Amino acid sequence: MRLLTTAVAALALTVGAQVATAAPVEIKFSHVVAENTPKGQMATKFRDLVAERLAGKVEVKVFPSSQLFGDNKVLEAMLLGDVQMAAPSLSKFQKYTKQLQIFDLPFLFKDMDAVERFQNGPDGQKLLRSLEKKGLVGLGYLHNGMKQLSANDALHVPADAESKKFRIMTSDVLQAQFEAVKAVPLKKPFSEVFTLLQTKAIDGQENTWSNIFSKKFFEVQPFITETNHGVLDYLVVTSAEFWLSLDEGLRTEVQKALNEAIAHGNKIAAEKAEGDKKAIADSGRSEIINISDAERQLWVNAMKPVWKKFEGQIGADLIKAAEASNN
Ligand code: LMR
Residue pLDDT tens, the chain, 327 long: 444 444 444 444 444 444 456 899 999 999 999 999 999 999 999 999 999 999 999 999 999 999 999 988 999 999 999 999 999 999 999 999 999 999 999 999 999 999 999 999 999 999 999 999 999 999 999 999 999 999 999 999 999 999 999 999 999 999 999 999 999 999 999 999 999 999 999 999 999 999 999 999 999 999 999 999 999 999 999 999 999 999 999 999 999 999 999 999 999 999 999 999 999 999 999 999 999 999 999 999 999 999 999 999 999 999 999 999 999
Atom of ligand 1 minimally distant from the CA of 89 = 5
Taking the CA of residue 37 as reference, the ligand 1 atom at the shortest distance is 9
H runs (alpha helix) in the chain? 2-21, 38-53, 74-79, 112-120, 122-127, 172-179, 193-198, 209-214, 240-245, 248-283, 293-303, 306-314, 316-324
Cβ-count burial of 219 within 10 angstroms (0-12 exposed, 13-18 middle, 19+ buried)? Answer: middle
- Cβ(143)–Cβ(266) below 8 Å: yes
Q: In which domain, by residue range, is 184 found?
A: 2-324
Half-sphere CA count of 313, side-chain side, radius 13 A: 19
Q: How many domains does the chain have?
A: 1
Residue 146, φ and ψ in degrees, nearest 5: -85, 150
Question: What CATH number is attached to the domain comprising 60?
Answer: 3.40.190.170
Nearest ligand 1 atom to the CA of 91 is 5
How many Å lie between the centroid of ligand 1 and the Cα of residue 190?
6
Q: What is the pLDDT of residue 22?
A: 84
pLDDT for the residue 275: 97
What is the predicted pLDDT for the residue at 21? 64
The protein residue whose alpha carbon is closest to atom 2 in ligand 1 is 190
pTM, full prediction: 0.92
Contact 34, 40 (CB under 8 A): yes
Rounded CA-CA distance 237/234 in Å is 9
Q: What is the pLDDT of residue 11?
A: 45
> What is the CA(89)–ligand 1 centre distance, in A?
6
Give me the residues paired with residue 185 across strands.
166
Nearest alpha carbon, ligand 1 atom 3: 190
Work out which ligand 1 atom sits closest to the CA atom of 189: 2
CA of 283 to the centre of ligand 1 (A): 23
Considering just the CA atoms, what is the radius of gyration of the chain in Å?
A: 22
Pocket of ligand 1 (CB under 6 A): 32-33, 71, 89, 144, 169, 190, 207, 211
Instruction: Return the closest-CA partner of residue 108 out of 228, 225, 211, 224.
Output: 228
The residues, ordered by sequence, that sit 6+ positions from 87 with a Cβ below 8 Å of its Cβ are 29, 31, 39, 42, 43, 142, 234, 235, 236, 237
- Give 147's DSSP letter: -
- CA–centroid distance, 39 to ligand 1, in Å, is 10
